[in-house]
Structure 1
Amino acid sequence: MNRQPQCILPDWPAPANVKALQTTRQGGVSLGPYASLNLGEFVSDDPLALACNRQRLAQWLPSEPVWIKQVHGVDVIDAAAAPCAPVADAVVSTQRHAVCAITTADCLPVLLCDRAGTVVAAVHAGWKGLADGAVEAAVARMAVPTDTLMAWLGPAIGPQAFEVGSEVRDIFIAHQAEAATAFVVAPGSAPDTDTPKWLGDLYQLARLRLERLGISQVSGGGITQSFCTYSEPERFFSYRRDVVTGRMASLIWLD
């Protein structure tokens, strides 16, 4: 068994004092469907295994991350003032060594920073949070001009696997007409039926939201790095694929 967490370094032009890590499912001690580097607390993994996995991750971090209880909402908390296990879906920090963290297993992790290296954020952007404005809420909390921000889109379910009904597509289009370009008819379905199925591109939907905010420098998500949690079972957890599964972590902080 690999005894070291296997992490991805975001490929983006962040300032030197902005540090970020993306974990995979490799390098931990969890067993069964949580094998092996599960970092999610609110699943049914062995608490001792989770604690060991988080301890292994700690060697790469300047402090204990702010672990949040995610509810697919739009609440944002400050990493430096967060209570224990706060309910939120985004974490923002302007203080050195305060680690923002979110966990995912198909939902889209969005990491943000400004070019001056004064503020960072991590956003849990599943389709519901993305549609309801989780990214916009985090950007507003960062309180800097949006044209000074950049984003990295981490591992999420890819556009060939994210099948949804028309109700999901309609929600995005109601918010932003251009979102229609992020959906194609799923194989075996037809748009003129009563219940058509669509394949949605979370990465494109996020880029559209970021572009509307004035954030043009976007990396990851098939631009500089390509991922699909659903189709890479050896590397990533996927709720859509396995239902009972662990969680990866996306982490960012100021050094």
Structure 2
Amino acid sequence: MSIQQQWLIPHWPGLPDNIGALSTTRRGGVSPAPYDDGMGSGGLNLGTHVGDQPHNVAHNRAIVRAQLPDEPVWMSQVHGTAVANLADVKPQQVPEADACFTTMPGKVCTIMTADCLPVLFCDKQGRTVAAAHAGWRGLAAGVLENTVESMRAAGAGELMAWMGPAIGQYQFEVGPDVKQAFLHGARDASDVRHVEAAFSVIGDKPGKFLADIYGLARYLLHRAGVKEVHGGEFCTVSNSGRFYSYRRDGVTGRQATLIWIK
């Protein structure tokens, strides 16, 4: 099976020809259970912090590196809103941030996830790219807006985005604290309506909701001026043969979503 069949190549209409993007799955690596591919073969776990043997992760990262123009910049993600400029990141450095951007050809923006939402950005001129890790905490706190602002400050033109594999709305059960975090960030009645629409009451579980992280992200991106948003058709929890999922498995690996200027 080819890399293209094992991984996701974003369906992203209008993506400039000089931009590369991909999203790995749990397939195509060497890691044993519980970091395997879900079908009895080696898994492509890319996280060094989840209990997998370091030599397995190094092997898996080398598999990914072979498809890229340079070593990916692996970040220490903390569910925050900091955005790293890859021009400021030294070789072997692991920045503590939940998003990154670059205007430099060959630099690879990289996000690791296992249910949280990865979002890739590009301007239509193909001059600036970015990647953001949007778990609900970072999403509510403004990680996507910070990424957009950083790109625009770097001279990006009109932006578009692609949402990679994340937990689907029929699997993302949350408490009232999550809903309140988004309502707290509402600026007006329109914001409140969109937040309310993204949370469905679970009839037999008082105080529990099903949250649509894709819908929340799409609205926040539109509000930030990103009008073309693609992707959002996956569910990491439901597809155990393709994606790692922390919500489903607890101890599990991490997949990556990456973008670069060729």
TM-score of the aligned structures, taking structure 2 as reference length: 0.90
The equivalent of 2:127 in structure 1 is 118
User: C-alpha distance in 1, partners of 2:245/2:102?
Assistant: 28
The equivalent of 2:189 in structure 1 is none
- In the alignment, is the contact (CA less than 8 A) between 2:159 and 2:226 conserved in 1? yes
**Which runs of structure 2 are paired with 1:168-187 in the superposition (5 Å)?**
168-176=178-186, 177=192, 178-187=194-203
Query: Does residue 59 of the first structure (1) align with residue 59 of the second (2)?
Result: no
- In the alignment, is the contact (CA less than 8 A) between 2:72 and 2:108 conserved in 1? yes
The equivalent of 2:218 in structure 1 is 207
- Displacement of 1:214 after TM fit? 1.2
**Which runs of structure 2 are paired with 1:190-205 in the superposition (5 Å)?**
190=206, 196-205=207-216
User: C-alpha distance in 1, partners of 2:86/2:255?
Assistant: 19
The equivalent of 2:32 in structure 1 is 31
- Displacement of 1:252 after TM fit? 0.3
- Displacement of 1:240 after TM fit? 0.5
User: C-alpha distance in 2, partners of 1:73/1:54?
Assistant: 24
State which drifts further: 19-28 or 75-84. Answer: 75-84
**Which runs of structure 2 are paired with 1:1-255 in the superposition (5 Å)?**
6-12=6-12, 13-35=14-36, 36-83=43-90, 84-143=93-152, 148-176=158-186, 177=192, 178-190=194-206, 196-221=207-232, 226-255=233-262
- SS for the counterpart of 2:259 is strand
- In the alignment, is the contact (CA less than 8 A) between 2:128 and 2:156 conserved in 1? no
User: C-alpha distance in 2, partners of 1:68/1:25?
Assistant: 19
Q: How many residues align?
A: 245
User: C-alpha distance in 2, partners of 1:75/1:3?
Assistant: 35
Q: Which runs of 5+ in 1 are unaligned?
A: 191-195
TM-score of the aligned structures, taking structure 1 as reference length: 0.92
User: C-alpha distance in 1, partners of 2:3/2:119?
Assistant: 24
User: C-alpha distance in 2, partners of 1:4/1:11?
Assistant: 16
User: C-alpha distance in 2, partners of 1:3/1:9?
Assistant: 12
User: C-alpha distance in 1, partners of 2:63/2:95?
Assistant: 23
**Equivalent position amino acid for 1:72 in 2:** H
User: C-alpha distance in 2, partners of 1:79/1:69?
Assistant: 14
User: C-alpha distance in 2, partners of 1:166/1:208?
Assistant: 20
- SS for the counterpart of 1:152 is strand
- SS for the counterpart of 2:23 is strand
- SS for the counterpart of 1:14 is coil
Q: Percent identity?
A: 49
The equivalent of 1:193 in structure 2 is none
**Equivalent position amino acid for 1:106 in 2:** D
**Equivalent position amino acid for 1:59 in 2:** A
- In the alignment, is the contact (CA less than 8 A) between 1:7 and 1:22 conserved in 2? yes
- Displacement of 1:7 after TM fit? 1.2
**Equivalent position amino acid for 1:232 in 2:** N
- Displacement of 1:189 after TM fit? 2.1
